[in-house]
């Protein structure tokens, strides 16, 4: 039996956008908060991992969104580490309303970083045993975000801000999402709301860097957008998102 952990979260006004829905950035903050609590409860929290000279890094998110929670709504966030192999662990998150309806499913792919050589470390049984995740040799082959369509795109530059670096001493994950989405511009973002997508992280963005976020609507289907974050010649992050026309709040 895998270990399931859940926690209620209330969606506050400051977590929401003008459509009264939680932003994707804030959603990710809430999910990671819940997964860290899960790990702490199993004696595998950040401090434990750090003492071994390691840290978990996120390589990928896959989102499937029925409905984004709205301001003042209380939701239940469930999480479970489902599977691991020697390089990756996979964790699912389910956001449910108070009637138990699934609003959002997110799968996150994690890897272990060795602090001394800055390389990926092998995942040991000892580290993941308490989660009761299933070991499977198979490394999942997941579709990459689509390359951007070079003919029609928006481009914006962002400078990493002092407070973008969080208590883990890294640019908080949520800021990549803000950079990815903000580059679409307000005319797109006011009209459409997100229903799913994939984000992959390649190389970390550091303090003082200026990054370029490029986004592009697909010619074949304007309800898909593709994204890339780069600096100089380095690619930091890629994403593809699916959208639908915004449903106005009643």
- Where does this chain bind its own copies (CB under 8 A)? 12-14, 16-18, 20, 23, 25, 29, 32-33, 36, 71, 161-163, 165-169, 172, 174, 178, 181-182, 184-186, 189, 207-208
Q: What is the DSSP letter of 68?
A: -
Q: CB of 138: closest distance to its own copies in angstroms?
A: 32
- Residue among 37 and 132 whose Cβ is closer to its own copies: 37
- Rounded alpha-carbon distances, angstroms, from residue 126 to 47, 50, 59, 247: 15, 14, 22, 47
| CA dist., res. 150 & res. 167, Å (int) | 37
Q: CB of 175: closest distance to its own copies in angstroms?
A: 10
Q: CB of 135: closest distance to its own copies in angstroms?
A: 28
- Residue among 138 and 163 whose Cβ is closer to its own copies: 163
- Rounded alpha-carbon distances, angstroms, from residue 103 to 109, 116, 191: 20, 40, 21
- Residue among 18 and 86 whose Cβ is closer to its own copies: 18
Q: CB of 141: closest distance to its own copies in angstroms?
A: 31
- Residue among 83 and 243 whose Cβ is closer to its own copies: 243
- 25-53 burial code (b ≥16 CB/10 A, e <16): bbbbbbbbebbebbbeebebeeeebeeee
Q: Which helix (H) or strand (E) holds 7?
A: strand 4-10
Q: CB of 218: closest distance to its own copies in angstroms?
A: 20
Q: Which helix (H) or strand (E) holds 177?
A: helix 173-182
């Amino acid at each position: 039996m895998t270990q399931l952990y859940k926690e209620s979260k209330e969606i506050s006004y400051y977590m929401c956008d003008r459509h009264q829905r939680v932003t994707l950035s804030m959603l990710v903050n809430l999910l990671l908060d819940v997964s860290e609590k899960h790990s702490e409860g199993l004696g595998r929290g950040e401090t434990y991992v750090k003492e071994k000279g390691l840290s978990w890094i996120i390589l990928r998110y896959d989102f499937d969104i029925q409905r984004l929670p709205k301001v003042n709504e209380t939701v239940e966030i469930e999480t479970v580490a489902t599977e691991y192999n020697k390089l990756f662990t996979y964790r699912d998150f389910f956001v449910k309303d108070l009637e138990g309806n699934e609003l959002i499913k997110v799968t996150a792919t994690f890897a272990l970083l060795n602090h001394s050589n800055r390389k990926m470390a092998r995942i040991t049984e000892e580290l993941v045993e308490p989660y009761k995740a299933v070991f499977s040799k198979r490394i999942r082959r997941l579709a990459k975000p689509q390359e951007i369509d070079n003919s029609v795109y928006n481009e914006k530059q962002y400078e990493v801000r002092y407070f973008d670096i969080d208590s883990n001493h890294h640019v908080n994950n949520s800021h990549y999402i803000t950079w990815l989405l903000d580059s679409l511009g307000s005319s797109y973002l006011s009209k459409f709301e997100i229903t799913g997508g994939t984000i992959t992280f390649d190389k970390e963005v550091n303090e003082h860097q200026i990054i370029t976020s490029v986004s592009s609507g697909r010619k074949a289907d304007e309800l898909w957008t593709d994204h890339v974050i780069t600096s100089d010649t380095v690619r930091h992050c890629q994403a593809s998102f699916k959208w639908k026309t915004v449903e106005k709040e009643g």
